[in-house]
Amino acid sequence: MKALHIGAVVACTAFVAAHAFGAPVKTGQPNVPEFKPAFPGQTRAPEVKSRTQLEVMEIAAGFDRPWAIAFLPEGRFLVTEKPTGNLYIVTVDGRKSNPVSGLPSVDGRDQGGLLDVEIAPDFVSSRMIYWSYYEPREGGNGLAVARARLIDGPAPRIEGLQIVFRMQPTLESTMHCGGRLVFAPDGKLFVVLGERSVLAGRVQAQRLDSHFGKVVRIRPDGSVPEDNPFVGRKGAKPEIWSIGHRNILSAALDARNRLWVVEMGPRGGDELNLVQRGKDYGWPTIGYGEEYSGRPIHRTTQAPGMEQPVYYWDPVIAPSGMTIYSGSLFPEWRGNFLIGGLVSRVLVRLVLRDDRVVGEERLLTELNARIREVAQGPEGALYLLTDERNGRLLKVTPR
């Protein structure tokens, strides 16, 4: 293992004062300055500074664009590799297994490939794992979620493969499938999705007959819980839990088991949303960004019946991966949102109070790496994956 010492100790000004006043994190000019926040603190919250000095250890490297981590109860990790579709078991001292065999092939172009992996809540007895991936299909592709039993050993493999969810309709696009998986404590599985980026997909984010741009909620076997909001509505996909999302690449539960997501915006307009049953998060009707060409997407930032983001970024951070910290190694981070930044090459920390962002920090700037995954380990350390050809699995602890 290699220790990378990061950052200097920064004395913190009084916590309350920093929240009430204070300049925001220094970023560039907004891309869409004519769009104003709907309420104070919806963007550019005052900068806060962690008092804890961080130590970053490299546990393993040599992953091709790794995407997600899951923690096995014995202290090892599952790590997905996006373009290759490979899943590895990694030991705490960084030894990588052969790729787990038996996984279906993936469409690994662009944003596609093998994405998230989770262990079942009853993994200790069932040995079941769940993963999401871009599924190659006749006439295009789409996100799928599969599960199987993990058979350990020198040649790890899966057994009893089942596809439990298929995003519909099939469309040819190598972009915006979302893909994070979150198990709720009641055993339901949230799958967060994107709208495929192309215009033919984007317009479906508001349509109930399409999974594009939705959060869906299923049972682990793929069946639909009867208390989903659109069950029984004619023409509606019954798996839908919320609508109007662009491309969700971060999802996590808070201490009250509420689902929070961060979605990748266009140029300007990355959003933090608190996902509630049956609600509409506005895309592409409202938002705070613009097309990469500079052309407008939205006439307005607010509309009746559409939810406001709790927070937005312009310029964007390009989010991927998030954990809401609940461990004991970083007491000052308790309840904070830790979000990986791709283009921004930072770890973003948000401090929330009463569901409003009251402070923002950019951590690990010295690492200067695209951060794809942020996960809290069982012992409270933070684990990261860097989005590189030689992607690294990093462990962050107090120094």
Q: Tell me which residue of 244, 134, 235 sits closest to 195, measured CA to CA.
A: 244
Select from 10-18, 67-75, 140-148, 281-289 the region that touches Ca ion (CB under 5 A): 281-289
Considering the complex, state which of residue 66 and residue 269 has its C-beta at the smaller distance from Ca ion. 269
**Residues in CB range of 224: below 8 A, 6 or more apart:** 218, 231, 238, 239
How far CA 268 is from CA of 188, 273, 329, in Å, comes to: 33, 15, 34
Dist CA 325 CA 299 (whole Å)? 37
Contact assessment for residue 336 and residue 324, using Cβ atoms and an 8 Å cutoff: yes
The two counts, helices (H) then strands (E), for the chain are 3, 24
* Exposure b/e, 210-222, CB count within 10 A at least 16 = b: bbbbbbbbbebeb
**Residues in CB range of 156: below 8 A, 6 or more apart:** 89, 97, 98, 100, 101, 150
Considering the complex, state which of residue 246 and residue 370 has its C-beta at the smaller distance from Ca ion. 246
Select from 43-51, 199-207, 212-220, 280-288 the region that touches Ca ion (CB under 5 A): 280-288
Question: In the chain, which ranges are continuous DSSP H helix?
Answer: 15-20, 123-126, 199-202
Instruction: Decide if residue 281 touches Ca ion (CB under 5 A).
Output: yes
Select from 45-53, 277-285, 344-352, 388-396 the region that touches Ca ion (CB under 5 A): 277-285
Instruction: Decide if residue 312 touches Ca ion (CB under 5 A).
Output: no
Neighbours of 194 (CB within 10 A): 29
Instruction: Please tell me what DSSP assigns to residue 113.
Output: S
Tell me the closest approach of the beta carbon of residue 271 to Ca ion, in angstroms. 5
Dist CA 47 CA 291 (whole Å)? 28
Q: How many residues touch Ca ion (CB under 5 A)? A: 2
Select from 183-191, 210-218, 275-283, 323-331 the region that touches Ca ion (CB under 5 A): 275-283
Tell me the closest approach of the beta carbon of residue 312 to Ca ion, in angstroms. 8
Tell me the closest approach of the beta carbon of residue 269 to Ca ion, in angstroms. 8
Tell me the closest approach of the beta carbon of residue 223 to Ca ion, in angstroms. 29
Catalytic pick among 5, 19, 176, 245: 176
Question: In 117-179, which ranges are continuous DSSP H helix?
Answer: 123-126
19 is catalytic: no
Neighbours of 169 (CB within 10 A): 17
At residue 388, what is the residue type? E
Considering the complex, state which of residue 63 and residue 281 has its C-beta at the smaller distance from Ca ion. 281
Which member of 46, 282, 359, 391 binds Ca ion (CB under 5 A)?
282
Instruction: Decide if residue 319 touches Ca ion (CB under 5 A).
Output: no
Considering the complex, state which of residue 271 and residue 373 has its C-beta at the smaller distance from Ca ion. 271
Select from 8-16, 232-240, 274-282, 342-350 the region that touches Ca ion (CB under 5 A): 274-282
Measured from each CB, the residue nearest to Ca ion is 282
Considering the complex, state which of residue 38 and residue 231 has its C-beta at the smaller distance from Ca ion. 38
Considering the complex, state which of residue 38 and residue 164 has its C-beta at the smaller distance from Ca ion. 38
Tell me the closest approach of the beta carbon of residue 309 to Ca ion, in angstroms. 5
Largest pairwise CA distance in the chain: 59
Tell me the closest approach of the beta carbon of residue 287 to Ca ion, in angstroms. 5
Residues forming the site for Ca ion (CB under 5 A): 281-282
Catalytic positions, please?
Answer: 176
